[in-house]
Structure 1
Amino acid sequence: MITIIRADYQMANHRAAILALVNDYAADTMGQGKVLSDNIQCRLLEDLSNRPWVHVFLAYQKDTAVAISVCIEGFSTFNSAPLLNIHDVYVRPEARRQGIAKALFAYIEAEACALGCCKLTLEVLEGNTPAQAAYRQLGFTPYTINDTAGIAMFWQKHLPADPV
């Protein structure tokens, strides 16, 4: 049986699950290939809880947390409506291909609808073809505004850790 919940930062078992699953994701080949630094592990839960626009969802099989999604509210100017970006998704390897991601995404979609969101967004690595296939099955497509502009690309620029 799969149970999906919104994480409660006040519950010790939710806090432990968030840290464990984010660390597993960070260490994964589709993550950064190593666990989070001690400094980030010490701050993460407080930093998440201080941002009410960040929503963390956990998936459980029986009493074991096996998946996580961190979602961040954004805003679509073209729709003048909120959106929900599925920023992180991780399912433990032993729990994959069991319908957990499908259940997690259905829960996230219902939450987004309750928030009045106009759409869900996500980013996926080019080399993560299993995730791309799963997302397509769930109704996601590459983002484009029109037929001539092409597909949107997700870029980044790192900023100094301690701005002056």
Structure 2
Amino acid sequence: MITIIRANYQAANHRAATLTLVNDYAADRMGQGKVLPDKVQGRLLDDLSKRPWVHVFLAYQNDTAVAISVCIEGFSTFNSAPLLNIHDIYVRPEARRQGIAKALFAHIEAEASALGCCKLTLEVLEGNAPAQAAYRQLGFTPYTINDTAGIAMFWQKYLPADPV
């Protein structure tokens, strides 16, 4: 049986499941290939709890946490409506291809609809063909604004750790 819940940062079992699954994702070959640094692990849950616009969903198979999604509320100026970005999504390897991701996405979509969101967004690595295929099956398409400008690319710029 698959159960999807929103993480409660006050519950020890939710805190443990969140940290374990984020670390598993970070260590995965589609993550950074290593667990989070100790200082990040030490503050992650408290930092998440301070941000009500961040929604962490845990998927349990029977009584075991096997998947996580971290979603962040954003805003679409072109639709003048909120959106929900699926920032992280991870299913443990032994739990894949069992309908867990599909159930997790259905839960996320229902939550986004309840929030009045106009759309879901996500980013996916170019080399992650299995995820791209799964996302397409769930109705996602590469993001574009018009037919001539091409597909949007997700870029980043790190800021100094201790800004002056």
- TM-score (norm: length of structure 2): 0.99
- The equivalent of 1:93 in structure 2 is 93
- The equivalent of 1:157 in structure 2 is 157
- The equivalent of 1:72 in structure 2 is 72
Query: Residues 75-110 of structure 1: CA distance to partner in whole angstroms, max 9, x if unpaired?
Result: 000000000000000000000000000000000000
Query: Residues 101-130 of structure 1: CA distance to partner in whole angstroms, max 9, x if unpaired?
Result: 000000000000000000000000000000
Structure-to-structure mapping, 1:1-164, within 5 angstroms: 1-164=1-164
Secondary structure of the structure 1 residue equivalent to 2:56? strand
Q: Distance in 1 between matches of 2:46 and 2:81?
A: 28
Gaps of at least 5 residues in structure 1 are none
TM-fit CA distance, 1:162: 1.0
Query: Residues 4-28 of structure 1: CA distance to partner in whole angstroms, max 9, x if unpaired?
Result: 0111111100000000000000000
Report the identity percentage: 90
Q: Distance in 1 between matches of 2:138 and 2:63?
A: 26
- TM-score (norm: length of structure 1): 0.99
- What amino acid maps onto 1:141 in structure 2? T
Q: Distance in 2 between matches of 1:160 and 1:85?
A: 25
Secondary structure of the structure 2 residue equivalent to 1:46? helix
Q: Distance in 2 between matches of 1:3 and 1:28?
A: 23
Q: Distance in 2 between matches of 1:14 and 1:59?
A: 11
Q: Distance in 2 between matches of 1:163 and 1:130?
A: 39
Query: Residues 20-42 of structure 1: CA distance to partner in whole angstroms, max 9, x if unpaired?
Result: 00000000000000000000000
- What amino acid maps onto 2:153 in structure 1? M
Gaps of at least 5 residues in structure 2 are none
> Alignment length, in residue pairs?
164
RMSD across aligned C-alpha pairs, in angstroms?
A: 0.4
